[in-house]
Structure 1
Amino acid sequence: MAIEVRPASEFADVATMVGPKRPDANVCWCLSYRIPSREHRELGGRGRGERVRELCAEDPPPGVLAYDGDEVVGWAAVHPRADTQFARNRKIPHVDDLDVWSVWCIRIRPGHRGQGVSHPLLAGAVEFARSYGAPAIEGYPLDNRGAKIEQTMAYVGTRALFERAGFTKAADTTSVLNGFPRILMRLDLR
C-alpha cells in the first residue's frame, strides 16, 4: 500500500472521514478543538458540515487526508495552535511562545486500520505544517504504555506513534482520556 497525504481541501473526502452517515446528525466533524467553544456548542446538524466545508476552502485547510490510490483512508487535523482551542486549553500547557502547530486528531477509516496508515499520515501532517513555515508541531497523545485503547478514544494517537515520527515528550498535561494521561509531544521543524 502506497499512502499519499494531501491537504484536506476536498470537502467530500473530509466528510467521508469525519462526517456522519446522516447529514443532519450532531457529530464532532473534528470541530471541537478547531473552532471557538461557543460556536461549537451552537452549531448543529447540517451547520456543522457547512462549517467544515468553509474550513476546507481556507488556506490552510483544516488538516490532511491520506489516500490509497484514489480512496481516502485517513484524516489528521493539523493547524496553527493559535487558531485552535489548544491556545486557551488549561489542561494542555504551553511550552514556550513559539507559533507552533497542533495535530490533535488522527483517524483511519474502518477496513484500513492496522495497516500502518497512521505513520505516513502523521508524517504528512508534519510536512504540511512545515510547508506553512511552522517552527514546531505538537501533539497531545495518550501515554498508554502499550495498553489497549478503546477505538473511539484512539483519535489522539499514542506516545509510540509520535515517538516513531520523531516527536519527543515536552511536558506532562492534566488531561486524561479513557483513563490514560495525555502528554505534550513536540517536533522542532527549524
Structure 2
Amino acid sequence: MADDVTDDTPALRIVPAADAPFTDVEQVFGTKGDAAHCWCQWFMIEARDWRAVGDEGLRQRLEGQLAEPGPGRGLLAYDGDEPVGWCAVEPRRDLPRLRRSRAVVSGTTHPDFDDETVWAVSCFVIPRAHRGRGIGRALARAAIGFAREHGATTLEAYAVDPSARSKPSAEELFHGTVSMFADAGFAEVARTTTSRVVMEHRLAGRA
C-alpha cells in the first residue's frame, strides 16, 4: 500500500529491484495481507487464470521476472540496509489487464497499448511499519528517472483521490494517490470516476 502524508521524506537509497536480493523484495511484500497474495502480478495475469496460480506461484513469477535480462519490473527503496518499499514501473504493453481496464482505456491520452515508449507505474507496497514517511512519494519520483533512462517518453499512473470518497479501499491505495503523483510532477489527464484519476508525466521525446 502507498503512504500519502508526510512532511519529512527520509533519505532513501532506491535501486532497480532486479539488482537487489530477492529476499529483500520478499521482506517488503511480507507473508500476510494483500501484497503477499498478489506479488504485483494482478495486471500481468488474465482474470480467468488468476485463481489457478496460487500465492507461491505468484511469488515465483515475480522472482522469475526480476531475474530476466533487462531493467526489471520495478524499484526497491532502502532506509539504510532495510528494504522499506516497492514500486512497479515498467512498459505499459507488458501489463495485459490494463488494455481491458475501462478506467485506463477511457482516460489515457496514448491509446496504442503496443507503444513501448509508454510506461506505467501500477503499484506500491510499503510495509505498515514504514507508512506515513514519504516513501511512496520518493519512489514515484525515482520512477520517472528509471522510466526515462530506459526509453520511456510518457509515464502513466492510475491514482486514487482519497478526498473524493470517505474511505478508499486498500486495493485502490496500492496504486498510489493523486497528491503523491502530483508532488512528483505528474499531471491529471482524466478523472474516470470521482476518485480514480489517470495521471501522466511527459518525458523527453514526446510533444
Percent identity reads 39
- Given candidates 21, 24, 27, the residue that maps to 1:16 is 27
Give the AA of the match of 1:167. Answer: F
What number of residue pairs does the alignment pair up?
Answer: 182
CA contact (8 A) 2:38 2:55 kept: no
Q: What is the CA distance between 1:167 and its match in structure 2?
A: 0.4
TM-aligned CA distance change 1:39 to 1:11, over 3 Å? farther
Report what 2:67 is aligned to.
Answer: 57
Report what 1:189 is aligned to.
Answer: 203
Higher relative CO (Cα under 8 Å, sequence separation at least 6) belongs to 2
CA contact (8 A) 1:11 1:52 kept: no
CA contact (8 A) 1:65 1:75 kept: yes
Report what 2:56 is aligned to.
Answer: 46
Q: What is the CA distance between 1:151 and its match in structure 2?
A: 7.2
Report what 2:179 is aligned to.
Answer: 160
User: Cα deviation per residue 1:8-51 (whole Å; 9 max; x = unaligned)?
Assistant: 12321222222525xxxx71111101334444332113222111
CA contact (8 A) 1:19 1:27 kept: no
TM-aligned CA distance change 1:2 to 1:128, over 3 Å? same
User: Pairwise CA RMSD of aligned residues?
Assistant: 2.3
Report what 1:29 is aligned to.
Answer: 39
CA contact (8 A) 2:40 2:88 kept: yes
Q: Give distance in 2, aligned partners of 1:19 and 1:91.
A: 29
User: Cα deviation per residue 1:121-159 (whole Å; 9 max; x = unaligned)?
Assistant: 111111111111100101111122276645724211111
Give the AA of the match of 1:103. Answer: V
**Structure having the larger proportion of residues in strand:** 1
CA contact (8 A) 2:155 2:203 kept: yes
CA contact (8 A) 1:143 1:158 kept: yes
Q: What is the CA distance between 1:106 and its match in structure 2?
A: 1.4
* Unaligned stretches of 5+ residues in structure 2: 1-9
Flag as ranges the 4+ runs of structure 1 deviating above 6 A.
Answer: none
- Given candidates 89, 92, 102, the residue that maps to 1:78 is 89
TM-score by length of 1: 0.85
Q: Give distance in 1, aligned partners of 2:145 and 2:167.
A: 27
TM-score by length of 2: 0.78
TM-aligned CA distance change 1:136 to 1:66, over 3 Å? same
Pick which of 110-119 and 128-137 moved more.
110-119
Report what 1:88 is aligned to.
Answer: 100
* Unaligned stretches of 5+ residues in structure 1: 175-179
Give the AA of the match of 2:198. Answer: L
Q: Give distance in 1, aligned partners of 2:131 and 2:77.
A: 12
TM-aligned CA distance change 1:52 to 1:182, over 3 Å? same
1:109 equivalenced with 2:121 (yes/no): no
Q: Give distance in 2, aligned partners of 1:126 and 1:6.
A: 13
